[in-house]
Amino acid sequence: MKLAEIDLGEGTAGFVLGEGPVGILLIHGLTGTPTELRQVAKGLAKAGNCTVYVPTLAGHCGDNSDLQATGWLDWYEGVRKTFVQVKQRHEQVFVGGLSMGAVMSMYVASEHPGQVAGLLMYSTTLKYDGWSINKMAFITPLLIRIPFGVRLFRFTEKPPYGIKNERLRAIVERQMKEGESSEAGLLTMEGVTVRELHWMNAVVKKRMPRINVPALVLHSIEDDITSRWNADYVERHLGGPVTKILLDNCYHMITVDLQYRRVIELSADFVEQHSSFVGAGLLDGERACCGERACPALGGEAAPSLTLHASS
């Protein structure tokens, strides 16, 4: 299959990096763009053992009207098309994503049992409960159930925008306010879109115990959008072995923030550990591993659950 035959979604923001035998499909977040995964994709592709595919979700990289015209099944359908084509090209395919994309990766695994080699879950978003979120956000599920309730609220990005790196934060803020949605995503998310996320999360939560796929769960202990509760929930409920690693010195957007190199390193280790194409070595150099339990840099035998703290 030629690269041109891989469906990367709407527009031109989606991309493919690398030429390795292991396929990795990464899914961006809600209101986000493929750009937020480019650094991680470059890092994984640079090792030479992976080909990384990052499509654009339906309704994204446009304006709010484009997004409101789609629902979570539309977002999934685009991902499904890409996954099927990537799977035809690669014997082993890992699926992952950032924020909502991490939740979507679990849904992909549930829809394709036995076809996903592992999950790369970054800042999983099952609920908005980070320290920067309005404390009234807990009533969102109630508003969703009320007729026309979704018209009564919207989610608006505000500083620090999931980014601790002040220089990068300033760039992203400018891009969002200038409407550069293909680069920085949307500044606001309407209630109807939040409802779609809640509906998808409800489905995925019910399926999690039956998803028997190894998972790497990376989450910041300083996450401003979604607290570590989200990572803890995955660790407790996912059916497969979970390696949960808590990062510091970064906020929600861990794939671009101050610890993005650590995210690449840990992801590469995980892919290498669970890939049949071993020997080439995804990354050389120091492995990031320290914390609650001794672990040879994610090597050794897989445990049902392993929690680590990665520090800079």
Q: What does the pLDDT read at residue 47?
A: 77
What are the extents of the domains in the chain?
A: 15-274
Looking at residue 55, the DSSP 8-state letter turns out to be: P
Q: What is the torsional sign of CA 236, 263, 295, 20? A: positive
Q: What does the pLDDT read at residue 152?
A: 55
Q: Which residue(s) pair with 52 in the sheet?
A: 17, 24
Which H or E element spans position 22? strand 22-27
Q: What does the pLDDT read at residue 294?
A: 30
Read off the pTM: 0.84
Q: For residue 87, give the amino acid letter.
A: K
The per-residue pLDDT for range 101-123, each reduced to its tens digit, is 999 999 999 999 999 999 999 99
Q: What does the pLDDT read at residue 154?
A: 58
Q: What does the pLDDT read at residue 31?
A: 87
CATH of span 15-274: 3.40.50.1820
Q: What does the pLDDT read at residue 277?
A: 65
Residue 55: name the closest of 73, 72, 70, 77 by CA: 77
Q: What does the pLDDT read at residue 293?
A: 30
Q: How far is CA 197 from the centre of its chain?
A: 14
C-alpha to C-alpha distance for 189 and 157, rounded to whole angstroms: 8
How distant, in Å, are the alpha carbons of 82, 104, 131, 195, 263 from that of 221? 32, 22, 11, 26, 14
C-alpha to C-alpha distance for 66 and 14, rounded to whole angstroms: 17
C-alpha to C-alpha distance for 15 and 38, rounded to whole angstroms: 9
Q: What does the pLDDT read at residue 9?
A: 92
HSE of 312, CA atoms in CB hemisphere, 13 A:
11
Nearest 5°: phi and psi at 82? -65, -45
Tell me which residue has tokens 């995925």: 204
C-alpha to C-alpha distance for 288 and 285, rounded to whole angstroms: 10
Contact 131, 162 (CB under 8 A): no
The per-residue pLDDT for range 91-106, each reduced to its tens digit, is 999 999 999 999 999 9
C-alpha to C-alpha distance for 121 and 202, rounded to whole angstroms: 18
Q: What does the pLDDT read at residue 212?
A: 97
How many C-beta atoms surround the C-beta of residue 19 within 10 A?
Answer: 11
C-alpha to C-alpha distance for 312 and 79, rounded to whole angstroms: 33
Task: Give the helix ranges, DSSP H, for the chain.
Answer: 38-46, 64-68, 72-89, 100-111, 140-145, 166-177, 181-184, 191-207, 229-237, 260-274
pLDDT beneath 50, residues of the chain: 1-4, 181, 184, 279-304, 311-312
- The residue count for the chain: 312
